[in-house]
């Protein structure tokens, strides 16, 4: 038989509650019996002290020989000291022996209650241990003694043997208390049962939702979410944290799946364009529409190079995702490296009607331990992006600053800018904005993604923000000596 988690939790909580109730009820009953027994023992001692005090007065009035009076009984003395007239005959003489009913035919059968009735446990004994009044006690290993004085001397002892069992009204009272404890314990167990079921269902409900959601995620349904209102009102506890994290994971998986689908569509589109051109040019050459000339070969070569660049960029991004992007770290002068890259793009900037400025005071030297080829590739991708999308007349500004063993490289351009809602996505592969910077200007849409991969390989960060020139600013922060270079 397979038990559900709610049943297991209910049984577990009920077991602990039942154990606690039984232990508490047992301890309460034991403590009640002990306390009540001590109370009865104290009352018996009071009776013994009253008896010895009464015997002392009796000896003082009538002499010591009164203890030899065979007609005197413990019952008579107890009645006398409790206020009954001494000359009034005992209406129930058999009760002196602890009997509840008169003996049949005047016999002296054993008193009901046995030796634990109070009159049977009280006696007056002489100094020699002989019983003067009361029943002789067989077992006196546990006894309470009180002296009987006459003229300042001990003439006898009042003796009481503690009761071994509780009889009569006291027993009924104790039994009633036991019944009350059992009833209260039963009520507590029932309440614990309902509480265990309620709490178990409250805790298991979100877990069942988690099970359902994760099962859907496992089958590829990344739109699955755990709904709110399942007993977890906040994410402050562990179950709430699990629910929140699974919803976050599902959202991430959904984004990744959407990105994967978009990747496939975009890659197929990017590859289809040069392949279509290649196919058309080759068919034209094969059909004789175009003559086999040097210019036709140059066009085919350019298309093949464009297609090869896209494939190489995709391969580089795949290596980056696999954390296997190779970098060869070595010491070099960063300022000189950036200056060379800027100089290489100066002519293209001038032809595009743009001014490219490397920040003043760049004639200083800054040694870094990076991969110089990857940094050149990084700079080239960003500068090509700025040249491609910046309107003329415009400006491209490169700033370099070193602070706390970290290099800050800022590349900014003039308008047009990128909408704020697109800034968080421009580093995604094949992402293009839909506004002014999305004009058909060439490129594969992989340049900034490659930049991010290179920066990550160097242990740095890259982010996009609006430029004070009216366009886009790319800020790159890299450690002077990355940990991966050690």
Residue range 204-258, pLDDT digits in tens:
777 777 878 888 888 888 788 877 665 554 445 667 777 788 888 888 888 777 7
**271-301 b/e (C-beta count within 10 Å ≥ 16 → b):** eeebeebbeebeeebeeeebeeeeeeeeeee
129: Cβ–Cβ under 8 A, 6 or more apart, which residues? Answer: none
pLDDT value at position 98? Answer: 40
Could you tell me what percent of the chain has a pLDDT over 90?
A: 1
- The pLDDT value recorded for residue 95 is 41
Q: Which residue has the higher pLDDT, 326 or 218?
A: 218
CATH number corresponding to 330-485: 3.30.565.10
* Domain limits, the chain: 5-169, 238-321, 330-485
Starting from the edge strand earliest in sequence, which strands make up the sheet with 394-403, in order? 354-358, 394-403, 406-414, 470-479, 461-466
- Average pLDDT on 128-148 reads 78
From 147-151, 299-303, 342-346, 450-454, the region with the lowest mean pLDDT: 299-303
Q: Pick the residue with more confidence: 460 or 275?
A: 460
Q: What is the pLDDT of residues 15-33, one digit of tens each?
A: 887 888 888 888 888 888 8
d(CA 212, CA 220): 13
Band (162; pLDDT cuts 50, 70, 90): confident
Q: What is the mean pLDDT of residues 75-80?
A: 72
Q: Which of 277-281, 380-384, 404-408 has the lowest mean pLDDT?
A: 277-281
9 or 280: which carries more pLDDT confidence? 280
Task: Band the pLDDT of 96: cuts 50, 70, 90.
Answer: very low
Helices (H), 131-237: 168-218
139 pLDDT exceeds 70? Answer: no
**pLDDT (mean) for 267-294:** 75
Q: Give pLDDT, residue 92.
A: 43
Report the range of poorest mean pLDDT among 163-167, 386-390, 479-483: 163-167
Q: Which CATH class is domain 238-321?
A: mainly alpha
User: Chain-wide mean pLDDT for the chain?
Assistant: 76
| pTM score of the predicted model | 0.48
Q: Where are the alpha helices (DSSP H) in 94-167?
A: 118-121
What strand order describes the sheet that includes 131-134? 131-134, 122-126, 153-160, 144-150
Which pLDDT value is given to residue 84?
A: 42
Extract the tokens encoding 222: 């990344």
User: Is a pLDDT exceeding 80 seen at residue 346?
Assistant: yes
Q: What is the mean pLDDT of residues 61-72?
A: 72
132 pLDDT higher than 50: yes
400 pLDDT above the threshold of 80? yes
Top-confidence residue, 412 or 438? 412
Contact predicate 368/481, CB 8 Å: yes
pLDDT of residue 477: 92
SS3 224: coil
d(CA 419, CA 436): 9
Unique residue bearing structure tokens 């009761």? 163
Q: Are 192 and 13 in contact (CB under 8 A)?
A: yes
Least reliable range by pLDDT among 71-85, 95-109, 409-423, 426-440: 95-109
Token duo for residue 399: 């700033």
Which stretches within 63-84 are classed as H helix?
Answer: 74-81
Half-sphere exposure of 184 (CA within 13 A, CB side): 12
- Local confidence band at 349 (pLDDT 50, 70, 90 cut-offs): confident
Residue 394 phi, psi (nearest 5): -150, -175
Q: Would you state the pLDDT for residue 7?
A: 67
- In this structure, are residues 459 and 479 in contact, taking their beta carbons and an 8 Å threshold? yes
What is the bridge-based pairing of β-strands 367-370 and 394-403? unpaired
Asked whether this chain's domains 238-321 and 330-485 adopt the same fold, the reply is no
Which tens digit of pLDDT belongs to each residue from 468-486? Answer: 888 889 899 999 888 766 6
- CA gap 194, 188 in Å, rounded: 10
């Amino acid at each position: 038989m397979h038990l559900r988690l709610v049943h297991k939790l209910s049984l577990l909580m009920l077991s602990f509650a039942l154990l606690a109730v039984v232990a508490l009820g047992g301890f309460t009953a034991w403590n009640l019996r002990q306390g009540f027994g001590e109370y009865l023992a104290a009352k018996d001692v009071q009776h013994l002290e009253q008896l010895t005090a009464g015997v002392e007065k009796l000896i003082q009035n009538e002499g010591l020989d009164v203890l030899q009076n065979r007609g005197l009984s413990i019952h008579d003395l107890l009645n006398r000291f409790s206020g009954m007239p001494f000359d009034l005959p005992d209406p129930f003489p058999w009760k002196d022996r602890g009997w509840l009913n008169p003996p049949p035919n005047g016999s002296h059968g054993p008193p009901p209650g046995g030796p634990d009735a109070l009159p049977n446990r009280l006696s007056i004994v002489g100094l020699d241990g002989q019983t003067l009044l009361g029943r002789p006690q067989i077992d006196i290993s546990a006894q309470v003694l009180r002296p009987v004085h006459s003229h300042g001397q001990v003439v006898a002892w009042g003796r009481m043997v503690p009761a071994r069992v509780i009889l009569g009204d006291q027993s009924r009272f104790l039994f009633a208390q036991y019944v009350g404890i059992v009833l209260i314990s039963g009520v507590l167990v029932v309440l614990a049962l309902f509480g265990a079921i309620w709490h178990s269902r409250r805790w298991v409900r979100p877990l069942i939702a988690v099970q359902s959601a994760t099962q859907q995620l496992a089958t590829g349904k990344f739109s699955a979410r755990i709904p709110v209102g399942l007993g977890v009102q906040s994410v402050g506890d562990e179950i709430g944290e699990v629910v929140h994290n699974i919803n976050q994971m599902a959202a991430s998986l959904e984004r990744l799946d959407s990105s994967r689908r978009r990747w496939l569509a975009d890659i197929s589109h990017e590859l289809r364009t040069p392949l279509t051109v290649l196919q058309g040019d080759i068919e034209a050459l094969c059909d004789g529409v175009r003559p086999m000339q040097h210019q036709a070969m140059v066009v085919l070569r350019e298309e093949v190079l464009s297609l090869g660049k896209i494939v190489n960029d995709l391969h580089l991004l795949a290596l980056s995702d696999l954390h296997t992007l190779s970098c060869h770290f070595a010491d070099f002068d960063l300022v000189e490296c950036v200056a060379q890259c800027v100089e290489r793009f100066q002519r293209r900037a001038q032809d595009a009607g743009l001014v490219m400025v490397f920040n003043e005071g760049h004639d200083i030297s800054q040694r870094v331990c990076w991969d110089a080829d990857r940094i050149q590739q990084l700079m080239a991708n960003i500068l090509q992006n700025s040249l491609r999308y910046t309107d003329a007349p415009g400006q491209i500004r490169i700033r370099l600053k070193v602070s706390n063993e970290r290099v800050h490289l800022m590349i900014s351009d003039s308008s047009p800018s990128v909408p704020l809602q697109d800034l968080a996505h421009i580093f995604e592969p094949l992402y293009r904005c839909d506004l002014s910077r999305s004009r058909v200007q060439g490129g594969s849409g992989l340049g900034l993604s490659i930049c991010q991969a290179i920066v990550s390989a160097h242990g740095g960060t890259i982010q996009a923000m609006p430029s004070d020139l009216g366009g886009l600013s790319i800020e790159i922060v890299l450690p002077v000596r990355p940990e991966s270079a050690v």
